[in-house]
Amino acid sequence: MKASESVTWSGLIGLGWERVRGQVARMTNRDDAEDLMHDAWLGLAERQIAARNPTALLVRAAANRGVDAFRREQRTGSAISADQAAESIADLTPLQDEVLIARHRLERLRHGVNQLKPRTRQILLMHRLEGLKYREIAEALAISQSAVEKHIASAMESLTDWMEDW
């Protein structure tokens, strides 16, 4: 084979690196297609392999590297994605100032709930804390479902106004 038929950057760039990367990604079903292509490219360039179709050779070499990586991960069980690694080291606890602000908001809400009319407060707490449906609250308190809806709407309006001023 002539040297011009060997794997060259210009040949791959002319055919579209992204298109070739997409083909490798489809063949291997892996997120690291770019890395596989790079490794395959280095291996082919280092050995100075000549080919009639350098793009096909690169794609096949990258796909083979993907298969090898998959088998290696299956044996060792070390297939950890970047997202999994980030989740394992990320501290998901809220910042101290966020906790403090949340506590103040909760205290403000408690005061607002305590300012509601007793019946409205009772209905709101039955719905929000106990998880009862309007129908169940109406039956428990011997009132209409429409009355329950009005009490909930009144409570939500009062609490929204109360929290907006804060």
pLDDT in tens, 124-147: 999 999 999 999 999 999 999 999
CATH number for position 154: 1.10.10.10
Residue 11's pLDDT band, with cuts at 50, 70 and 90, is: low
User: Domain boundary residue among 40, 59, 87?
Assistant: 87
Mean pLDDT of the chain: 82
User: Domain boundary residue among 87, 114, 144?
Assistant: 87
- pLDDT single digits (tens) 57-115: 888 888 888 888 888 878 876 556 666 666 667 777 888 888 999 999 999 999 999 99
For residue 75, CA distances in Å to 41, 56, 66, 70 come to 26, 29, 14, 9
- Number of domains the chain is built from: 2
Both 67 and 16 in one domain: the answer is yes
User: Domain boundary residue among 87, 108, 135?
Assistant: 87
- Which range of residues forms the domain containing residue 114? 96-164
Structure tokens at 9: 């950057």
Both 18 and 83 in one domain: the answer is yes
User: Cα torsion for 64, 68, 69, 72, to the nearest 10°?
Assistant: 170
Whether residue 166 has pLDDT greater than 90: no
3-state secondary structure of 6: strand
Both 73 and 32 in one domain: the answer is yes
Instruction: Return contacts of 35-40, CB within 8 angstroms, 24+ apart.
Output: 36/62, 36/63, 36/65, 36/66, 36/69, 37/62, 39/65, 40/64, 40/65
pTM: 0.46
| Percent of the chain's residues with pLDDT above 70 | 83
Q: What is the average per-residue pLDDT within 154-164?
A: 93
